[in-house]
């Protein structure tokens, strides 16, 4: 699926030790996003990044987008990550968007909802 939009990155601090990302504070905003392959405008999204005892946490949110997104990704200091997202099609008349959500895995084209859980290790 082709994706378009404008990305604004506003990071207040990054701490790197060699090849390891130790800390980051700030946010990433995605404006006017769209899935080009099915010609659907999605809306605006944000990822707020903070560092805490768990590692680096990115909290996902949207600004009343056609595809609602909420959840987080946690990157531990040892390189392990967990991603836990809930997505929901708010425009239930958009058959194409409901089908795209079903392709994400763990979702349904009927409900337009999906839970996405992934974990792994980044190659540090």
φ, ψ at 76 (rounded to 5°) = -75, 160
Strand partners, 122: none
Number of domains in the chain: 1
pLDDT tens-place values along the chain, 124 residues long: 688 999 999 998 899 888 788 899 999 999 999 888 778 889 999 999 999 988 999 999 999 899 999 999 999 988 899 999 999 999 878 888 887 787 776 666 677 888 889 999 987 6
Q: What is the pLDDT of residue 107?
A: 64
The 10 Å CB-count burial string (b at 16+, else e) for 82-112 is ebebbbbbeeeebeebbebbbeeeebebeeb
Q: What is the pLDDT of residue 106?
A: 65
The secondary structure element, H or E, covering residue 67 is: strand 67-75
Q: What CA–CA distance (Å, rounded) separates 123 from 79?
A: 7
Supply the range of the domain harboring residue 12: 3-121
| pTM: predicted TM-score of the whole model, two decimal places | 0.85
């Amino acid at each position: 699926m082709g994706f378009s939009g404008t990305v604004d990155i506003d990071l207040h601090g990054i701490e790197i030790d060699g090849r390891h990302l130790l800390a980051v504070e700030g946010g990433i905003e995605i404006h006017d996003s769209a899935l080009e392959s099915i010609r659907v405008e999605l809306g605006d999204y944000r990822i707020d990044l903070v560092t805490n005892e768990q590692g680096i946490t990115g909290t996902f949110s949207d600004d009343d987008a056609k595809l609602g997104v909420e959840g987080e990704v946690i990157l531990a200091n040892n390189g392990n990550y967990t991603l836990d997202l809930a997505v929901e099609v708010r425009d239930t008349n958009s058959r194409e968007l409901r089908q795209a959500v079903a392709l994400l895995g763990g979702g349904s084209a009927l409900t337009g909802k999906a839970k996405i859980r992934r974990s792994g290790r980044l190659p540090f």
